[in-house]
Structure 1
Amino acid sequence: MFNYNVINLCKHLHRYLIVVDDVWDQPTWNTIKCAFPEDINGSRVVVTTRVEDVAAAACQNDGEGIYKMEPLSEQNSRMLLLNRVFGSKHDCPPHLKEVMAEILKKCHGLPLAIITIASLLANKETSRKSWESIRDSLGTQLAINLTLEEMKSILNLSYMHLPAHLRACFLYFGMYPEDRDILRDDLVRQWIAEGLVSNLHGHDLEDVGRSYFNELINRSMIQPGRIYREEVVSCRVHDMMLDLILSKCDEDNFISVAYNYNDMARLHGNKYKVRRLSVSSVAGRGATYAPTIDICLSQVRSFTLFWTRLPSLLLFKYLRVLRIEEHSQGQETTLDLTAIGQLFLLRYLYVTVRCSVQLPAELQGLVYLETLDIPSARLKSIPSDIAQLSRLSYLDIRMEKFMSECIGNMKSLRSLVIKSVELSMKEVNSVKVIMGLGELTNLRTLRIGVNGWKKAEHDAFAGSLAKLHNLKSLNFSTGYTGWTLRIGVAGWQKPELDTLASSLAKLHSLKSLSLSGRCIEEDNQLGSLSNPFPHLEEFIGGYSWEFRRVPVWMGGLNCLRILELRVMEASTQEVNLLGQLPSLVVLWLWTSHIPKERTILGTGLFPVLKRLQFWAEEDVGAYLGFEAGAMPNLRDLTISTSRVPNLRDLTISTSREHGAIPVGLEHLYRLETVYLSRALPRDAIVSSAFRDALSAHPNHPSVGP
């Protein structure tokens, strides 16, 4: 698959730079290099490896092509450790300086070793005795030379210092293959299904699971992956850490991993029963399972499948967790999962495949099922009794024309994600269906797409919404837009919008609200609510929902961290209103018209803002200025055209040719990035002007593209 993709890529690119990371042996490199054409066009391939023979082979034994990474210097090692432990490069208490130097000496300048030990120290008392205990645990043998096995002993030390409730959760990463991007919320639901998350009185199980995830990141046991709106939503596991995990799993019989028939045969002959099994690419595509492994599978409680054929599900009579990713269906166009109706202990089902999925006609026998997550597959049909699953708490079925009239029976639902609800179907009572949503009073998250609604359905939805007092996240639009689902409001008139606004104002637990659909708010109640959403952390109006002015009630959202807002016009007073929000970290502000007077952002405004996007159809540069002390934490600045800009940038957009530069950029002390993307014939001139303006900036921010 790698070679096929690379060959196609190289065909379509005149020149390319490709990085092949962490090649372990020469046969692997010999296979990979066949994908690269032997032409002379200035392209480059960079290979990283820990094996000198692989490096020599990749450079055709040309020593000049090998760059050996040197360990960190003593100074940089100290800075890395102090920054992780104390949040500063210099603040080491005097009583710890000597023992810190001894610990760093044993790490030999290896970043992974330093970060791992520093994360361990960060969770210990800052006493000399505590630090000496960690130093002594590293052993005297590390003082001479840090071998691979000794590096593993450092990682093992961090594992041994994990609290008991985190150890099993950490080992559970052994269910995933190497270099996998692991989604946080999906992982947490697996932990819950496995019984690995403590049921703390008064705390939501998923919130507790997320706290476990964050603690493992803070301890550097796992690495942050994707960051979405200032929150880590996925992670990766370093390959050396994964080696440690798999060795511990093998010692404790916690997880069994199989890659081929020999592995399966080994598991069959194992004196221990296989409880959790992860299978990746068994014998390649189109493989079948030998009858001898039936006994091996009969005791499995959790089964995860990557890129290979699915054995008969009837073998897994005690299965609780089933996860199927990129199933290798060969010539089949449908993944047959009808047998899951016989897995009476199943708690968790996740399927993401490219083919169609056939579920059984009925699921009522799955009385323990908590998660039914099929986000990207094409379902042929929905089980007729899905609403009778009394324990189901998470449902994600992105299928057209689905909603059961019995949905109100699903009292345990906490998260509901449905691609599209087309209530024009004759076989359902649309109003009854929508009114059933109001019975789901345990709902925390609602993401749903709708089509074909009339006034009766609008009113029913607003009435149901007002009953969902525990709702924390509501995303809605007229259809499926990327990976976020939203319920839509396109076509709603003022009476319907007023009713919707009245219902939204009753959702006092709401933390995230997303509105999407072609709507211009002029004279409805949504723009003039009275102190709504006391706990709101995220408001996503985005480009498609336009307010006439900045709603006054937004000035009272003291918990608001993320704001995406489009307005017809934003006055200086309204911008200052947003600037007083104490928790705002990311702001996207679109405005159709710029006032004539210049807006100067004064001292103390936007105290914690890191990213700002300011888009307009007029010259923002001439409109905006910064005083000393404004936006003291701003990192990223992007100046863009009318296209929807990059989420991670601060964006000031303009479509006029002349375009002035905002005054006071030198006052944005922490500015790191200025990104320019303008629909102007003189982009190079504008970029040069910004570089000149920022040449004396103490932080030397980069300017692109």
Structure 2
Amino acid sequence: MKPLGKDDSRNLFFSTVFGSRSSCPEKLSEVSHDIVRKCGGLPLAVVTIASLLSSQLEKQERWNYINKSLGYSLMTNPNLEGMKQLLNFCYNNLPQHLKACILCLSMYQEGNIIWKDDLVNQWIAEGFIFAIEGHVKEEISRVYFDELVGRNIIQPVHINNNGEVLSCVVHHMVLNFITCKSMEENFMVAIDHSQAATRCADKVRRLSMHFGNIEDATPPTNIRLSQVRTLAFWGVLKCMSFITGFQLLKVLTLHFWGDEDSISSFDLTRISELVQLRYLKVTSNVTLKLPTKMQGLQYLETLKVDGNIDGVPSDIIHLPGLLHLSLPAKTNLPSGIVHMTSLRTLGYFDLSCNSAENLLSLAELTNLRDVQLTYSAAHSDDLKNNMQCLGSILEKLSNLKSITLAQPGSSYANTLHVDSATNMRISVAGWSILSSPPALLQRIELLPCVCVFSSIPNWIGKHGNLRILKIGIREITSNDVDVLGGLPALTVLSLYVHTKPIEMIIFDKEGFSILKYFKFRCSVAWMKFEAGAMPNLQKLRLGFDVHRADQHDTIPVRIEHLSGVEEIYAKIRVTSTADDLCRRFAESALTNAVTMHQGSPSVNIWCVDWIFDGKDDNIAKKREVEHRILQQQPHIVKEGSNEKSAFLQKNLGEGAHKSVGSRDNSP
């Protein structure tokens, strides 16, 4: 990469440390310019050293020490060796508690997406995390992950709309340094198939093997497998025979796949002999046969299986230390899960195939903090009955912080982007009777096209800690707006309304004071933002129909009152009968409205062929005619055609940002 110029280097440094160039204190100005100069224009060097300094803003003597310690190697020789010296300097100046966490990253290869939950639980299983009074280990581990993000040691990939980083990658130069440092300190040995013959220290505690599609690769012969405590493997199924030699593993991560000639299943029975195991994650494209007996794994804390399984061992309910259980959809848990009282996270619990007994047993698992639900059969009796009972069960889960209902067949990654229309409905009557919802609940995400409430349930307004809400309702009233606006912690709201509103939806300066993300889907976006509304809103997502333009405004009125909005994303449904004039009118109405905004937010407009199935709108037609109000008739925009071919981006005003092809990251 071509080195940055002086101004660009300084801007990058100051924005990383202080947020902006003008925010640099006078006392740090001179030393800052000197440090930037020593980075030789290398972006990674600038960001790395800036991230180190960002936690020491009040310690001028520390800045002077770091400046003197840097030397001039990057100025005179801005190459890999100079960068390695800088990374080594930054590593040596890290807090001790982060060093082991960083060295664990050498388990992964360049380009691997690393999920936060995986790292958090691996670090705990390794013994790197110690509880602090008032905080469980998972909370401490998550803070460490966020600290690595803040120091730019890892780079975010998936970020939810609440700003939380869910996954990351490691820059190839940083990963190369970490891998070398890890080998140097005999912390972890990471090899690929070309290094299988490499001679390593015989006492290897942690081993990572990336064998790709090589079918005859094996671990280095001089390694004493019984000494290995952590094993990570990526490769084909045929290379898995060596796994039985590792007897004292605490952490085991397996990513393997079958080829065209291999068998379609793999037996994991021998894993039941790994009596020290604390963390187990298995990902595969073949059917997995779990051990018939797992009760011997008394220390197991995390079990994650991403792949088809042919059943769950009945004695899994007797694992006393199991905290995190993640199994694929279509998994029928054994009876007796009432005994799994240590569980904190459970996913996916399939409402279509688990018995009513299992569902009722969830009420006894009062340590549950995160429950991920799904359904694999849309019209099963179990699904209907379980949804009816779910509300009363939630009342008893006093520690619950998150509950989600995921689309069948969706992975954790792509549930971030699921947003498809469907004709299916699941009754939510059982949820409507909630009287005392869990006080700690922070996140509720249901499938808004499937789970449709008549209006915002009263119990929603009792959630003082609720941060993320995704919900579908049949109709919206001013009372619903008041209930939602009264949630003091709400930062992310996705609201799907299935009938056209009979009156304009008005958002005033009351409520929604910290809302950062607002998604609104309805056949008609008949709403108005008054001055002072949603003062902290950053992202606005809209979805509406262009062919419903017979009565109301095309787009929300007074978008310019959303003073902090940075990004506006609209999906406009255009039917096959819509003409070009109608489509252009929809675009023009939105672009003209945003042009009035002083902040010049970026705008993406997509024409699509779906928003909702539209059936619910027919219910409202008679009621709407009776309720017509005597106002000047505004215009309504029709929704677009093919999403792939009709992307319409508008760059509004000078300084507006372009975001071509950005994905809809809505919850």
**Deviation by residue 1:385-429 (Cα, 9 ceiling, x = unmatched):** 2222222222222263522223233332222224536668xxxxx
Return the alpha-carbon distance in structure 1 between the equivalents of residues 438 and 366 of structure 2.
Answer: 18
| Paired amino acid for 2:559 | L
Deviation at 1:549, TM superposition (A): 2.8
Aligned positions of 1:90-169 closer than 5 A: 90-169=22-101
Alignment-derived partner of residue 192 in structure 2: 259
Aligned positions of 1:275-314 closer than 5 A: 275-281=205-211, 284-289=213-218, 293=221, 295-308=223-236, 309-314=239-244
**Deviation by residue 1:213-255 (Cα, 9 ceiling, x = unmatched):** 0111111111111012322111111111101101110110011
Native 8 Å contact 1:106 1:146 kept in 2: no
Return the alpha-carbon distance in structure 1 between the equivalents of residues 256 and 598 of structure 2.
Answer: 49
How large is the Cα RMSD of the aligned pairs? 3.1
Return the alpha-carbon distance in structure 2 between the equivalents of residues 431 and 551 of structure 1.
Answer: 24
- Structure possessing the higher relative contact order (Cα contacts under 8 Å, 6 or more residues apart): 2
Does 1:212 pair with 2:167? no
For the structure 1 residues 689 and 70, does the alpha-carbon distance in structure 2 shift closer, same or farther, using more than 3 Å as the test? farther
Q: 1:468 aligns with which of 382, 392, 397?
A: 397
Runs of 4+ in 1 over 6 A off after TM superposition: 454-463
Native 8 Å contact 1:107 1:113 kept in 2: yes
Return the alpha-carbon distance in structure 2 between the equivalents of residues 578 and 702 of structure 1.
Answer: 26
Alignment-derived partner of residue 626 in structure 1: 529
3-state SS of the aligned residue for 2:23?
coil
For the structure 1 residues 295 and 661, does the alpha-carbon distance in structure 2 shift closer, same or farther, using more than 3 Å as the test? closer
Return the alpha-carbon distance in structure 1 between the equivalents of residues 500 and 192 of structure 2.
Answer: 61
Alignment-derived partner of residue 661 in structure 2: none
Deviation at 1:471, TM superposition (A): 2.9
Return the alpha-carbon distance in structure 2 between the equivalents of residues 316 and 543 of structure 1.
Answer: 48
Native 8 Å contact 1:402 1:422 kept in 2: no
| Paired amino acid for 1:440 | L
Does 1:221 pair with 2:124? no
Alignment-derived partner of residue 656 in structure 1: 549
Aligned positions of 1:41-80 closer than 5 A: 69-74=2-7, 76-80=8-12
**Deviation by residue 1:16-60 (Cα, 9 ceiling, x = unmatched):** xxxxxxxxxxxxxxxxxxxxxxxxxxxxxxxxxx5xxxxxxxxxx
Native 8 Å contact 2:208 2:232 kept in 1: yes
3-state SS of the aligned residue for 1:589?
strand
Return the alpha-carbon distance in structure 1 between the equivalents of residues 386 and 475 of structure 2.
Answer: 33
Return the alpha-carbon distance in structure 2 between the equivalents of residues 529 and 421 of structure 1.
Answer: 19
Q: 1:441 aligns with which of 358, 366, 377?
A: 366
For the structure 1 residues 695 and 90, does the alpha-carbon distance in structure 2 shift closer, same or farther, using more than 3 Å as the test? same
For the structure 1 residues 475 and 289, does the alpha-carbon distance in structure 2 shift closer, same or farther, using more than 3 Å as the test? same
| Paired amino acid for 1:693 | A
Deviation at 1:185, TM superposition (A): 0.6
Q: 2:270 aligns with which of 323, 328, 339?
A: 339
| Paired amino acid for 1:258 | I
**Deviation by residue 1:298-357 (Cα, 9 ceiling, x = unmatched):** 321111111332232221112221111133555222223222122222222111111111
Alignment-derived partner of residue 495 in structure 1: none
Aligned positions of 1:293-442 closer than 5 A: 293=221, 295-308=223-236, 309-328=239-258, 331-375=262-306, 377-398=307-328, 400=330, 402-420=332-350, 430=355, 432-442=357-367
Deviation at 1:578, TM superposition (A): 2.5
Q: Greater CA deviation, 132-141 or 231-240?
A: 132-141
Alignment-derived partner of residue 12 in structure 1: none
Return the alpha-carbon distance in structure 2 between the equivalents of residues 437 and 600 of structure 1.
Answer: 40
Q: 1:579 aligns with which of 457, 480, 485?
A: 485
Return the alpha-carbon distance in structure 2 between the equivalents of residues 116 and 604 of structure 1.
Answer: 42
| Paired amino acid for 1:665 | I
**Percent sequence identity over aligned pairs:** 36
Q: 2:440 aligns with which of 525, 535, 540?
A: 535
Alignment-derived partner of residue 610 in structure 2: none
For the structure 1 residues 133 and 281, does the alpha-carbon distance in structure 2 shift closer, same or farther, using more than 3 Å as the test? same
| Paired amino acid for 1:303 | L
Aligned positions of 1:516-595 closer than 5 A: 518-519=425-426, 526-527=431-432, 532-541=437-446, 542-595=448-501
Deviation at 1:121, TM superposition (A): 1.1
3-state SS of the aligned residue for 1:199?
coil
Native 8 Å contact 2:274 2:297 kept in 1: yes
Alignment-derived partner of residue 611 in structure 2: none
Aligned positions of 1:598-637 closer than 5 A: 598-603=504-509, 605-618=511-524, 620=525, 623-637=526-540
Native 8 Å contact 1:379 1:399 kept in 2: no
Native 8 Å contact 1:421 1:448 kept in 2: yes
Alignment-derived partner of residue 17 in structure 1: none
Deviation at 1:108, TM superposition (A): 2.8
Does 1:482 pair with 2:410? yes
Native 8 Å contact 1:341 1:363 kept in 2: yes
**Deviation by residue 1:53-108 (Cα, 9 ceiling, x = unmatched):** xxxxxxxxxxxxxxxx451442x333332332223331111111111111111123
For the structure 1 residues 589 and 383, does the alpha-carbon distance in structure 2 shift closer, same or farther, using more than 3 Å as the test? closer
Deviation at 1:472, TM superposition (A): 2.8
Deviation at 1:265, TM superposition (A): 2.5
Native 8 Å contact 1:305 1:327 kept in 2: no
Return the alpha-carbon distance in structure 2 between the equivalents of residues 336 and 553 of structure 1.
Answer: 47
Deviation at 1:598, TM superposition (A): 3.3
3-state SS of the aligned residue for 2:350?
strand
Return the alpha-carbon distance in structure 2 between the equivalents of residues 458 and 525 of structure 1.
Answer: 6
3-state SS of the aligned residue for 1:569?
coil
Alignment-derived partner of residue 182 in structure 2: 249
3-state SS of the aligned residue for 1:202?
coil
Native 8 Å contact 2:560 2:597 kept in 1: yes
Alignment-derived partner of residue 24 in structure 1: none
Return the alpha-carbon distance in structure 2 between the equivalents of residues 554 and 361 of structure 1.
Answer: 43
Deviation at 1:611, TM superposition (A): 2.2
Gaps (5+ residues) in structure 2?
414-422, 606-647, 649-667
Deviation at 1:548, TM superposition (A): 2.6
Native 8 Å contact 1:592 1:617 kept in 2: yes
| Paired amino acid for 2:561 | H
Return the alpha-carbon distance in structure 1 between the equivalents of residues 351 and 435 of structure 2.
Answer: 31
Return the alpha-carbon distance in structure 1 between the equivalents of residues 329 and 529 of structure 2.
Answer: 48
Gaps (5+ residues) in structure 1?
1-49, 51-68, 425-429, 486-515, 643-652
Native 8 Å contact 1:171 1:249 kept in 2: yes
Q: 2:591 aligns with which of 691, 694, 702?
A: 691
3-state SS of the aligned residue for 1:253?
coil
Native 8 Å contact 2:384 2:427 kept in 1: no
Alignment-derived partner of residue 566 in structure 2: 672
For the structure 1 residues 654 and 543, does the alpha-carbon distance in structure 2 shift closer, same or farther, using more than 3 Å as the test? farther
Return the alpha-carbon distance in structure 1 between the equivalents of residues 123 and 175 of structure 2.
Answer: 18
**Deviation by residue 1:134-192 (Cα, 9 ceiling, x = unmatched):** 21121133444433222222222221122111110111010011111101111211111
For the structure 1 residues 674 and 295, does the alpha-carbon distance in structure 2 shift closer, same or farther, using more than 3 Å as the test? closer
For the structure 1 residues 79 and 655, does the alpha-carbon distance in structure 2 shift closer, same or farther, using more than 3 Å as the test? farther
Native 8 Å contact 2:389 2:430 kept in 1: no
Return the alpha-carbon distance in structure 2 between the equivalents of residues 460 and 662 of structure 1.
Answer: 38
- State the TM-score, normalizing by the size of structure 1: 0.75
Deviation at 1:454, TM superposition (A): 9.2
3-state SS of the aligned residue for 1:293?
coil
3-state SS of the aligned residue for 2:247?
coil
| Paired amino acid for 1:616 | C
